[in-house]
Amino acid sequence: MHNEYHSLRQQMVETLIERGIRDRRVIEAFRKVPRHLFLDEALWPQAYSDHPLPIGERQTISQPYIVALMTEALGLTGMDKVLEIGTGSGYQTAILAELADCVYSIERLPDLAKRARKVLDQLKYTNVVIRIGDGTAGWRDESPFAGIIVTAAAPGAPDPLMQQLEIGGKLVIPIGDEQFQDLLVYFKEGEDRYREQNLGGCRFVKLIGEHGWKT
Ligand code: SAM
């Protein structure tokens, strides 16, 4: 059965390449991480299609292409300290753990955080620290970060996250209204200087917190 998922995973990666994902390290991470294990067993047969899927608590695991696009945008080297807001299933966290030195991840819903921790432990990701709480305030004690990735839709870039980026670092975040967003990359060029790039439209669940949506 696991062989079957292995070949479905390689097919998923071919789709990512056809859609324009180029970073070789990102592609290798997607070849390796078993996405099905981050889902309920009933959803395993759908795990390698290019779609978001439910993970409980009215939340979703993001579509593989969007996970790849966001990860590629971070331009990780293997030496980086990364902050993820919205652990969800932990799948994106595992991809980041393959590509960075260490990953700090914040999830507001305790049950999701605990489930993600369990799967990441089973897969022996020892370079991941997960915290339950409001990620819109960031993780000041561990800042600055080379990359910050927000996997939920925000009305604007949260100030604390901008501050906790190192100079030369990148924040990848979907910004827009509650229905549709643009996937934005902010390059921190100086203390208060950012360059912005728009990677295109996307749809995420809401980022709920002090510096996000209120409910
Ligand atoms: N990256 C995840 C994955 O691979 O499964 C998908 C994340 S899901 C689209 C968005 C997650 O963000 C949800 O689990 C939600 O509970 C979480 N979230 C929303 N607002 C948050 C906040 N202020 N702090 C931390 N997590 C938050």
53-91 pLDDT, tens per residue? 999 999 999 999 999 999 999 999 999 999 999 999 999
Query: What mean pLDDT comes out for the span 157-175?
Result: 98
C-alpha–C-alpha distance, residues 131 and 108, integer Å: 8
pLDDT in tens, 10-51: 999 999 999 999 999 999 999 999 999 999 999 999 999 999
Nearest to 197 by CA among 92, 24, 72: 72
pLDDT at 9 over 90: yes
| 194 close to 173: Cβ distance less than 8 angstroms | no
In the chain, alpha helices (H): 2-18, 24-32, 64-74, 91-99, 110-122, 159-163
Ligand 1 centroid distance, CA of 61 (Å): 9
Which residues line the pocket of ligand 1, CB cutoff 6 A? 55, 59-62, 85-86, 88-89, 91-92, 106-109, 112, 134-136, 151-152, 204-205, 207-209, 212
Q: What is the structure's pLDDT at 1?
A: 57
Q: What is the structure's pLDDT at 196?
A: 97
pLDDT at 2 over 80: no
Sheet with 102-107, side-by-side order of all strands? 128-132, 102-107, 81-85, 145-150, 165-176, 181-190, 193-202
C-alpha–C-alpha distance, residues 149 and 128, integer Å: 14
C-alpha–C-alpha distance, residues 194 and 168, integer Å: 10
Confidence of residue 158 (pLDDT cuts 50, 70, 90): very high
Nearest to 138 by CA among 82, 66, 59: 82
3-state SS, residue 130: strand
| 155 close to 175: Cβ distance less than 8 angstroms | yes
Query: What mean pLDDT comes out for the span 170-185?
Result: 97
C-alpha–C-alpha distance, residues 37 and 41, integer Å: 8
